[in-house]
Amino acid sequence: MPELVVTALLAPSRLTLKLLRAFMWSLVFSAALAAAAVYGCVALTHVLCRPRRGCCGRRRRVAPACLSDPSLGEHGFLTLRSSGLRLHYVSAGRGNGPLMLFLHGFPENWFSWRYQLWEFQSRFHVVAVDLRGYGPSDAPQEVDCYTTDLLMADIQDVILGLGYSKCILVAHDWGALLAWNFSVYYPSLVERMVVVSGAPMSVYQDYSLRHIGQLFRSNYMFLFQLPWLPEKLLSMSDFQILKTTFTHRKTGIPHLTPNELEAFLYNFSQPNGLTGPLNYYRNLFRNFPLEPQELATPTLLLWGEKDNYFELGLVGAIGSRFVPGRLEAHILPGAGHWIPQSNPQEMHQYMWAFLQDLLD
């Protein structure tokens, strides 16, 4: 068929897709402006209630001692083959078993896996990375440096760079989103997955379009589409919005000590420390609309009954995309979003049972 005819036949579909994307972006930026107004009021209230802190975040000069706790493992850097970037990681148990690779979420870092590093280093080589943009890892400032394709290439380079051909991938929140995609596009590198509080982006997209309440729970992701303003709002009153996220009585991390809180705030307080992590969100809508993906990697899915950011209905939506028999899902009663830190013992029990056959 002549190329001109093919182009003419495809023109209506391409025009429809362009119009759909234009409409989507108009909605996203309308929501972003509304979210900015709300979070702006919240940030201003924090400043007025704590005027001595001022409008800016205080830069931390010294890292808290818990970030160098030797019982958690050895610190290292890995230069990625694809990009040349250096990623920071903490490693323990090399030679004790298969690679167990941990991917953190926002606003976290490798330290969010401290309980799992202690628990599993006796039978696995446990490695918790600081994803690009986080902590001591390299943090390019351009939004285009944080596309899903580049972030998946980072994970591939970490696995191969550590000398392995496959791993057990353990992921939470943003790390979970990356892990789902990685298991689809690099299935040979993932032997098992443990996913906590995070849905595949295509599942999240379809579910949110049918359940508007989920979009309200994720209102912050619209704010993060804007340039520079989210960094400013999150840092006001010495990062009070982030502090509240971590320590809120109902939705935060229970029993988080001041030293542990500083372990998360330390890197965000450095110059441009928030820009890299927020650039993940600025790429979220780049490929809308997404096609459904079939999920086949054997996966343990853990979800908090009282997760403030994701509805329980997402668990069923994820299950509907799975090859039968490949998903083991558990909803933890009373648990919130931060299961690796708030409910480590329950998480460990499910993980040991799920991975037992690999150790026999």
CB 332 within 8 A of CB 339: yes
**Which tokens is 312 given?**
């329980």
Known catalytic residue: 281? yes
Question: Of these residues, 173, 206, 238, 307, which one is catalytic?
Answer: 173
In 114-211, where does DSSP find H-type helix? 114-120, 148-161, 174-185, 201-210
Question: Of these residues, 46, 125, 172, 337, which one is catalytic?
Answer: 337
**Which tokens is 169 given?**
């991938």
CB 82 within 8 A of CB 89: no
Nearest-CA neighbor of 98 among 75, 74, 127, 78?
127
CA–CA distance, 22 with 37 (Å, rounded to integer):
23
CA–CA distance, 127 with 117 (Å, rounded to integer):
8
The contacts of residue 208 (CB under 8 Å, 6+ apart) are: 214, 215, 218
CA–CA distance, 131 with 88 (Å, rounded to integer):
8
Tell me the residue type at 241: I
Tokens 């003419």 map to which residue?
Answer: 8
Nearest-CA neighbor of 78 among 181, 189, 160, 183?
160
Question: Of these residues, 281, 307, 309, 350, which one is catalytic?
Answer: 281
Known catalytic residue: 248? no
Known catalytic residue: 173? yes
CB 98 within 8 A of CB 79: no
Catalytic positions, written as ranges: 173, 281, 337
